[in-house]
Amino acid sequence: MAVSKTHPPGAVREAFAAGQRHFGENYVQEALAKMDALAGLPVTWHFIGALQGNKAKAVAARFDWVHGVDRERIAELLSRHRPAGLAPLEVCVEVNISREATKGGVAPGEALALARRVAALPGLRFRGLMGMASPSGEPARLRAEFAVLRRELEAIRAAGLAADTLSMGMSHDWREALAEGATMLRIGTAIFGARGGHAWRPAGAVGEAA
Ligand SMILES: *Cc1c(COP(=O)(O)O)cnc(C)c1O
Protein backbone atom coordinates (compact mmCIF):
# COMPACT_ATOMS: atom_id res chain seq x y z
CA MET A 1 0.00 0.00 0.00
CA ALA A 2 1.31 3.43 -0.92
CA VAL A 3 0.61 5.93 1.88
CA SER A 4 -0.31 9.14 0.09
CA LYS A 5 -1.30 11.29 3.09
CA THR A 6 -0.24 14.95 2.67
CA HIS A 7 0.66 14.34 -0.99
CA PRO A 8 -1.44 15.86 -3.78
CA PRO A 9 -3.72 13.91 -6.14
CA GLY A 10 -1.08 14.21 -8.85
CA ALA A 11 1.25 12.01 -6.79
CA VAL A 12 -1.46 9.34 -6.61
CA ARG A 13 -2.05 9.57 -10.35
CA GLU A 14 1.64 9.15 -11.04
CA ALA A 15 1.91 6.09 -8.79
CA PHE A 16 -1.28 4.66 -10.33
CA ALA A 17 0.20 5.08 -13.81
CA ALA A 18 3.19 3.06 -12.59
CA GLY A 19 0.88 0.21 -11.50
CA GLN A 20 0.14 1.03 -7.85
CA ARG A 21 -3.50 0.34 -6.90
CA HIS A 22 -3.71 0.46 -3.09
CA PHE A 23 -3.38 3.83 -1.35
CA GLY A 24 -3.50 4.73 2.35
CA GLU A 25 -4.75 7.95 3.93
CA ASN A 26 -4.85 9.15 7.56
CA TYR A 27 -6.95 12.32 7.54
CA VAL A 28 -10.58 11.98 6.57
CA GLN A 29 -11.20 15.43 5.15
CA GLU A 30 -8.00 15.40 3.10
CA ALA A 31 -8.79 11.93 1.80
CA LEU A 32 -12.34 12.79 0.73
CA ALA A 33 -11.13 15.83 -1.20
CA LYS A 34 -8.45 13.72 -2.86
CA MET A 35 -10.97 11.03 -3.80
CA ASP A 36 -13.16 13.71 -5.37
CA ALA A 37 -10.19 15.08 -7.31
CA LEU A 38 -9.41 11.54 -8.52
CA ALA A 39 -13.00 10.47 -9.24
CA GLY A 40 -13.06 7.69 -11.83
CA LEU A 41 -9.58 6.37 -11.01
CA PRO A 42 -10.14 2.78 -9.78
CA VAL A 43 -8.06 3.06 -6.63
CA THR A 44 -8.51 0.87 -3.54
CA TRP A 45 -8.54 3.28 -0.60
CA HIS A 46 -7.32 2.29 2.86
CA PHE A 47 -8.01 4.35 5.97
CA ILE A 48 -5.01 3.96 8.29
CA GLY A 49 -5.47 6.86 10.73
CA ALA A 50 -7.02 7.14 14.16
CA LEU A 51 -10.77 7.08 13.65
CA GLN A 52 -13.22 9.17 15.65
CA GLY A 53 -16.86 8.22 15.84
CA ASN A 54 -18.07 11.37 14.10
CA LYS A 55 -16.04 10.47 10.99
CA ALA A 56 -17.09 6.82 10.86
CA LYS A 57 -19.97 7.48 8.49
CA ALA A 58 -17.79 9.17 5.85
CA VAL A 59 -15.10 6.51 6.18
CA ALA A 60 -17.64 3.68 5.85
CA ALA A 61 -19.10 5.29 2.73
CA ARG A 62 -15.91 6.15 0.88
CA PHE A 63 -13.11 3.77 1.86
CA ASP A 64 -12.56 0.11 0.93
CA TRP A 65 -10.47 -0.85 3.96
CA VAL A 66 -10.02 0.39 7.54
CA HIS A 67 -6.85 -0.70 9.36
CA GLY A 68 -7.08 0.96 12.75
CA VAL A 69 -10.18 -0.54 14.38
CA ASP A 70 -9.47 -0.92 18.08
CA ARG A 71 -12.89 -0.45 19.71
CA GLU A 72 -16.15 -2.30 19.42
CA ARG A 73 -18.03 1.00 19.22
CA ILE A 74 -16.11 2.10 16.11
CA ALA A 75 -16.66 -1.30 14.50
CA GLU A 76 -20.40 -1.01 15.12
CA LEU A 77 -20.54 2.51 13.67
CA LEU A 78 -18.62 1.47 10.57
CA SER A 79 -20.90 -1.51 10.03
CA ARG A 80 -24.08 0.49 10.54
CA HIS A 81 -22.95 3.20 8.12
CA ARG A 82 -21.60 0.93 5.39
CA PRO A 83 -23.93 1.61 2.43
CA ALA A 84 -26.05 -1.40 1.52
CA GLY A 85 -24.99 -1.30 -2.14
CA LEU A 86 -21.30 -1.76 -1.35
CA ALA A 87 -19.36 -4.89 -0.43
CA PRO A 88 -18.58 -5.17 3.28
CA LEU A 89 -15.78 -2.90 4.49
CA GLU A 90 -12.49 -4.79 4.83
CA VAL A 91 -11.27 -4.40 8.41
CA CYS A 92 -8.05 -5.00 10.27
CA VAL A 93 -8.02 -4.84 14.05
CA GLU A 94 -5.16 -2.72 15.37
CA VAL A 95 -2.95 -4.21 18.07
CA ASN A 96 -0.60 -2.11 20.19
CA ILE A 97 2.57 -4.13 19.62
CA SER A 98 5.00 -1.42 20.78
CA ARG A 99 3.14 -1.14 24.11
CA GLU A 100 3.44 2.65 23.93
CA ALA A 101 0.63 4.30 25.87
CA THR A 102 0.19 6.98 23.19
CA LYS A 103 -0.45 4.47 20.42
CA GLY A 104 -3.84 3.12 19.46
CA GLY A 105 -4.66 -0.55 19.34
CA VAL A 106 -5.93 -3.22 21.68
CA ALA A 107 -3.55 -5.13 23.94
CA PRO A 108 -2.35 -8.33 22.23
CA GLY A 109 -4.50 -10.56 24.43
CA GLU A 110 -7.65 -8.66 23.44
CA ALA A 111 -7.37 -9.00 19.67
CA LEU A 112 -9.36 -12.23 19.37
CA ALA A 113 -12.42 -10.86 21.17
CA LEU A 114 -12.57 -7.77 18.96
CA ALA A 115 -11.86 -9.84 15.84
CA ARG A 116 -14.87 -12.03 16.68
CA ARG A 117 -17.03 -8.96 17.09
CA VAL A 118 -15.87 -7.50 13.74
CA ALA A 119 -16.43 -10.82 11.97
CA ALA A 120 -20.01 -10.91 13.28
CA LEU A 121 -21.00 -7.45 11.98
CA PRO A 122 -22.85 -7.50 8.65
CA GLY A 123 -21.25 -4.40 7.15
CA LEU A 124 -17.68 -5.54 7.88
CA ARG A 125 -15.38 -8.31 6.78
CA PHE A 126 -12.59 -9.22 9.18
CA ARG A 127 -9.31 -9.46 7.24
CA GLY A 128 -6.57 -9.52 9.87
CA LEU A 129 -4.38 -7.41 12.12
CA MET A 130 -2.52 -4.12 11.86
CA GLY A 131 0.37 -2.94 14.01
CA MET A 132 3.05 -0.30 14.28
CA ALA A 133 6.43 -1.08 15.82
CA SER A 134 8.46 1.27 18.01
CA PRO A 135 9.67 4.17 15.86
CA SER A 136 13.25 3.92 17.06
CA GLY A 137 13.53 0.21 17.67
CA GLU A 138 16.61 -1.89 17.01
CA PRO A 139 16.08 -4.57 14.34
CA ALA A 140 15.80 -7.32 16.96
CA ARG A 141 13.17 -5.39 18.89
CA LEU A 142 11.23 -4.58 15.70
CA ARG A 143 11.20 -8.26 14.79
CA ALA A 144 10.02 -9.19 18.28
CA GLU A 145 7.16 -6.69 18.08
CA PHE A 146 6.09 -7.81 14.61
CA ALA A 147 6.27 -11.41 15.80
CA VAL A 148 3.66 -10.56 18.45
CA LEU A 149 1.27 -9.53 15.67
CA ARG A 150 1.99 -12.65 13.63
CA ARG A 151 1.35 -14.89 16.63
CA GLU A 152 -1.88 -13.06 17.42
CA LEU A 153 -3.09 -13.68 13.87
CA GLU A 154 -2.12 -17.34 14.16
CA ALA A 155 -4.12 -17.59 17.39
CA ILE A 156 -7.14 -15.97 15.74
CA ARG A 157 -6.97 -18.44 12.87
CA ALA A 158 -6.56 -21.32 15.29
CA ALA A 159 -9.76 -20.12 16.96
CA GLY A 160 -11.56 -20.61 13.65
CA LEU A 161 -11.78 -17.11 12.17
CA ALA A 162 -10.77 -16.58 8.55
CA ALA A 163 -8.01 -13.97 8.18
CA ASP A 164 -5.36 -13.35 5.55
CA THR A 165 -3.84 -9.94 6.32
CA LEU A 166 -0.89 -8.87 8.45
CA SER A 167 -0.67 -5.10 7.88
CA MET A 168 2.73 -4.15 9.26
CA GLY A 169 5.90 -2.43 8.11
CA MET A 170 6.57 1.17 7.05
CA SER A 171 9.43 2.90 5.22
CA HIS A 172 11.98 2.37 7.99
CA ASP A 173 11.01 -1.11 9.19
CA TRP A 174 9.47 -3.00 6.27
CA ARG A 175 12.35 -5.46 6.06
CA GLU A 176 11.77 -6.67 9.62
CA ALA A 177 8.01 -6.77 9.02
CA LEU A 178 8.42 -8.82 5.87
CA ALA A 179 10.75 -11.22 7.67
CA GLU A 180 7.97 -11.76 10.25
CA GLY A 181 5.30 -12.46 7.67
CA ALA A 182 3.77 -9.12 6.69
CA THR A 183 1.29 -9.45 3.83
CA MET A 184 0.68 -5.72 3.43
CA LEU A 185 3.35 -3.04 3.87
CA ARG A 186 2.26 0.57 4.37
CA ILE A 187 4.92 2.67 2.66
CA GLY A 188 4.79 6.46 2.44
CA THR A 189 8.13 8.26 2.59
CA ALA A 190 10.09 5.67 0.62
CA ILE A 191 7.65 6.07 -2.30
CA PHE A 192 6.61 9.72 -2.23
CA GLY A 193 9.46 11.38 -0.35
CA ALA A 194 9.34 13.31 2.91
CA ARG A 195 6.06 14.81 4.04
CA GLY A 196 5.52 18.45 4.87
CA GLY A 197 3.61 19.18 8.04
CA HIS A 198 0.24 19.78 6.45
CA ALA A 199 -2.49 17.80 4.82
CA TRP A 200 -3.07 18.39 1.14
CA ARG A 201 -6.21 20.36 0.38
CA PRO A 202 -7.77 21.62 -2.80
CA ALA A 203 -7.18 25.26 -3.61
CA GLY A 204 -9.57 27.51 -1.69
CA ALA A 205 -10.65 24.83 0.81
CA VAL A 206 -10.41 25.08 4.57
CA GLY A 207 -8.50 21.98 5.61
CA GLU A 208 -7.78 20.09 8.78
CA ALA A 209 -4.35 20.08 10.37
CA ALA A 210 -2.13 17.11 9.73
C1 LIG B 1 2.14 7.55 7.76
C2 LIG B 1 1.90 6.12 8.05
C3 LIG B 1 2.59 5.12 7.35
C4 LIG B 1 3.71 5.41 6.36
O5 LIG B 1 4.84 5.86 7.02
P6 LIG B 1 6.24 6.08 6.23
O7 LIG B 1 7.23 6.10 7.32
O8 LIG B 1 6.12 7.40 5.54
O9 LIG B 1 6.41 4.96 5.28
C10 LIG B 1 2.26 3.81 7.62
N11 LIG B 1 1.30 3.48 8.52
C12 LIG B 1 0.62 4.42 9.20
C13 LIG B 1 -0.41 3.99 10.17
C14 LIG B 1 0.90 5.75 9.00
O15 LIG B 1 0.23 6.67 9.71
Question: Nearest to residue 60, comparing CAs of 93, 92, 86, 40?
Answer: 86
Please tell me the predicted confidence (pLDDT) of residue 180: 98
- pLDDT > 70 fraction of the chain, expressed in percent and rounded: 97
Tens of pLDDT along 24-59? 999 999 999 999 999 999 999 999 999 999 999 999
Average pLDDT over the chain reads 95
145, 134 in Cβ contact below 8 A? yes
* Atom 12 of ligand 1, nearest CA residue: 48
**Domain chopping of the chain, boundaries:** 2-192
- pLDDT > 90 fraction of the chain, expressed in percent and rounded: 89
For residue 112, which amino acid is it? L
Residue 210 confidence class, pLDDT cut points 50, 70, 90: very low
What number does the ligand 1 atom closest to the CA of 191 have?
9
Residue ranges of the alpha helices (H) in 54-181? 56-62, 72-81, 111-120, 139-158, 174-179
Entry pTM: 0.95
* Atom 14 of ligand 1, nearest CA residue: 48
Does residue 7's CB lie within 6 angstroms of at least one atom of ligand 1? no
Q: Report how far residue 186's alpha carbon sits from residue 74's, in angstroms, rounded to the nearest whole number.
A: 22
What number does the ligand 1 atom closest to the CA of 3 have?
4
Question: Nearest to residue 48, comparing CAs of 4, 13, 17, 7?
Answer: 4
Question: Nearest to residue 166, comparing CAs of 144, 186, 150, 142?
Answer: 150
Tens of pLDDT along 92-104? 999 999 988 778 9
Does residue 171's CB lie within 6 angstroms of at least one atom of ligand 1? yes
Does residue 188's CB lie within 6 angstroms of at least one atom of ligand 1? yes
Tens of pLDDT along 137-196? 899 999 999 999 999 999 999 999 999 999 999 999 999 999 999 999 999 999 999 998
DSSP bridge partners of 94:
130
Tens of pLDDT along 68-113? 999 999 999 999 999 999 999 999 999 999 988 778 999 999 999 9
Q: What is the CATH number of domain 2-192?
A: 3.20.20.10
Q: How many CB atoms lie within 10 A of CB 13?
A: 14
Residue in 48, 66, 198 to alter for ligand 1 test, most ligand atoms within 8 A of Cβ: 48
* Atom 13 of ligand 1, nearest CA residue: 48
Question: Nearest to residue 22, comparing CAs of 90, 86, 104, 70?
Answer: 90
Residue partners of 22: CB distance under 8 A and separation at least 6: 1, 2, 43, 44, 46, 184
